Chains A and B, each alone.
Chain A
Amino acid sequence: MAADTHPSTTGAGGGAAAVRRLLLDNGALTALIVLVIAMSALSGDFLTTDNLLNVGVQAAVTAILAFGVTFVIVSAGIDLSVGSVAALSATVLAWSATQHGVPVGIALLLAVATGIAAGLVNGFLIAYGKLPPFIATLAMLSVARGLSLVISEGSPIAFPDSVSHLGDTLGGWLPVPVLVMVVMGLIAAFVLGRTYIGRSMYAIGGNEEAARLSGLRVKRQKLAIYALSGVFAAAAGVVLASRLSSAQPQAADGYELDAIAAVVIGGASLAGGTGKASGTLIGALILAVLRNGLNLLSVSAFWQQVVIGVVIALAVLLDTLRRKAGATPAAAGAGGGGKGRQAATYGLAAVVTVAVVGATSFLHGGSSPSANPKIGLALSTLNNPFFVQIQSGAKAEAKKLGVDLTVTDAQNDASQQANQLQNFTSSGYDSIIVNPVDSDAASNSVKAADKAKIPVIAVDRGVNKAAVDALVASDNVAGGELAARTVAEKLGGTGKIVILQGQAGTSAARERAAGFAQGLKAYPGIQVLAQQPADFDRTKGLDVMSNLLQAHPDVQGVIAANDEMALGAIKALGAKAGKSVQVVGFDGTPDGLKAVEQGTLYASVAQQPSQLGRIAVDNALKALRGKKVEETVKVPVKVVTEANVAGFSG
């Protein structure tokens, strides 16, 4: 190529051309603008100051994590541990300040030191241990998550109030997380652009051997790069925890992938050597705008994930295509080929716009303006039949009563739920039903709703430190006692059992475990061989039970904190289930009840999830019409066995 002998001279022709050039040069920015335009066209609630600040707050944690990951990706590495390190740092802060009385300033330093330490370990394993970054940070992902569970003993720890202000607003309107995001972004841009370590990142990522032979101390730089990523992860963890007023051991689970996506959408290459802080910010904003917009448009929770995936792919595709079109200069004289490619880029942009607009307007379920009251239902997860039944009960009732019901799925992530609640509040829903991922973590969002005079009903799990109009729940502790009693009596008061616990850190797991313990006190002849968590998950129930069977082949009874785990345990027990081993589950899901019918599951402590959903909607409607509602509505639980299963329906 004779590129060097014929320098291309590109003339910028006026302001319009400059803008066009800026957009063509930055596929991610174009994608963001397309999204914002599409969202504002589709939802009147989108383009308000309040909501845009919401988007900022919701982008903040991902963006701060992603800034740190940008350093690593620019230097041709990868950091999968940032989500876990964020949770660990926040946990260290809360644990030292709240539980051990360490002054908050020092606790903050400890949190940052935790991030640095985790990063240094990553860097050491990669630079000196010659581990691939993927593996080293994958190991750290697990270690940091485990340590934060160990330190917190699986329960969220309240965050010191003085630090929690980081989750508030400044002057009543400017959210502090947005401010922190901007400051961290400026720091990241400064580090990348001006400092020795920043320039080294590009050189190392571009060609590590050339960098080494030019005298860069590559190993030391890598230590520092991963340590920097750790610092940013710690900052993100503190912001996340202060938004929720509590340090959650399970917080920021899976955020590393969001962060990596943000960096790549922002134009960095996973091969290293390219990437900018501004691009990363745009990437994080694209993700936040999408989540926010899809909430506002009441797109079904399941479809949201599909749409997000498609938009990530399209955003990067747009950027790749733009690059492939080369440095296609806007100036004329590039010849026909250049024009064609430019047209292709525009064409693709148009297709993306149409696709996004089309898909979202198709998917958002007719929330056309109507006089019907609008109620938002924020569920902790839809990855579990129990909550799906709450949803269907609520939907049926809403249809009957003429209510527009929007359901969101937080995927067991407290901060995503905070975002969804915030979106309900800012787009003026008449009432909110919340099924908290975590009772402490939901408090800030519920307070905000209270302030906006929106009635809030909690379902299944309560909300701590904030006022809800009603709690619709079955009693987990009482249910746990019931489960313990059922199994003990079936075994005749003596026998060996194991307990499968729910996901560490959730209130349901804690309360049910407490119930089991209380119930078993009355039966000294029952010996508990082991208690292990299986995360409310059927597959994990199967694995954990198989493992326990190796150690305790003589087990006679199993108490599982939900039916899913009980069904997994039954699979592991095989022919023993229902014969020599009695399994008791919890929840009374359709699958669980079927197993009771077949005799493999001895009993299930049945909640009535569709009743929970139904009653929650009833109460929400009552509350928004100003009628009085009971503070707690207990939906009865009952033990379902083969004898009474026929007559029972959730």
Chain B
Amino acid sequence: MQVAGRKVAVVGMGGAFPACANLDDFNKKLFSDQSLIREWDLALQYSKQIRSTVSGYISEEEMGLEPVLTELAERYPETYIDKLGRIPDIHLATADMGSIWAMLGAQDATKMAGWSTREIESEQTGVVVGSGGAGNQILRVAWHYFFQLGKKARIAGAHTVDRSMSYREAANISCLLKTKGVCESITSACATGLGNIGHAYRLIKFGLQDRAIAGGVEGTALETFIGFDGMMILSKGFTPEKSSRPFDTQRNGFVCSFGAGIVALEEYEMAKARGANILGVIDDYFNNSDGDGDMFYPSFAGQQRLWKGLMPDKGLRPDVVKMHGTSTPVGDSVELLSVVDALGEEGYHMSAPKSQFGHMLGGAGSVELITALLMLQNQKVLPCLNSDTLNPELEGFQKTDHWQGPDKPLAAYRHLVPQKTFAKEINRIACLNYGFGGTNSAMLVSRDI
């Protein structure tokens, strides 16, 4: 149960961002309306086998890492060298690429938070970080050598489990920083990033922890990419920077991307008492399920219930809604209309950061929460890039008898969907993320004033 009067502040953030040197670079590029999506050289090597070759990917070199290739298995990184000396070898040995990003993000977030070693190593500091997929890059090699080539299980090395297990990012962060509180992962497909932060928020709000390192990750892996490519739901036919186009009539799929977003959360009064810089205050977190038996198709009713759970008294209206906005044909239109249904036709704007860096899967919710914190900091709304034309006609589902949502076409809401970054007073942002299986997550975060 919630503890009355107990609030949760965000006091630090960090992560891994495509085509960016660091968080400052990410901030600068986002708010100058740049796209971080590129042609992916690795995907191009397999261009005859896949449909899409654009991605917001992050290379090892860009993160200051060098793979140590083993002679036992072709192209298999036995471990990584941190060329910048940030993480000891003993911790690199147990980490896949995403786990390394998670550790680097946690280092940056806790440094920004200004937590002492005693605070970090406390029983009151938890770690709640997860990813959408397994350690697919690691598992592929282990399984290939065992099943296809008939080799001993040990050929893939002794770290297949710790480098691929579901909560590997949380485990690696906890071992690196020696935290003594809760250490676990929440996995909920593309809602994972926000779900982990939401769970960490509850741990603090409910009085179980005072601090938490929380977030989501998706490490660069062609193994992950091809699963979505095989579903034929990735964007195709545009130049990289035009590929992610939420709400535009020409959208035809999402851009599969990778990244990590880690935040440091702290009980509000404790953070204030030590003079911490409060990046945002989490007003509430709510999550639910569609309950309609459909793994993939978005549910307007599920999203309606999400908004009712998030804003039961309508008293905490957001100035900006950070949309899930993937650039998929049905998902975007159902989401836009459910937001209009909840908030009306005026008084807020929609922002779709995936238009700039694509869909980071398990990392999406947390990196996008960081974009919301940056919007609060900069007092600027990030755009829905490439949303050139909104449908002037009703969507097919709006013409059915059972449709009970807004009865205007998407084009009627053009004024809510900015195409460029612009400045305005922003006191509160709603963040939305959804995932396969009909899972829906929402968080309200406010400026500390």
A binds B: no
Residues of A within 8 A of B (CB): none
Residues of B within 8 A of A (CB): none
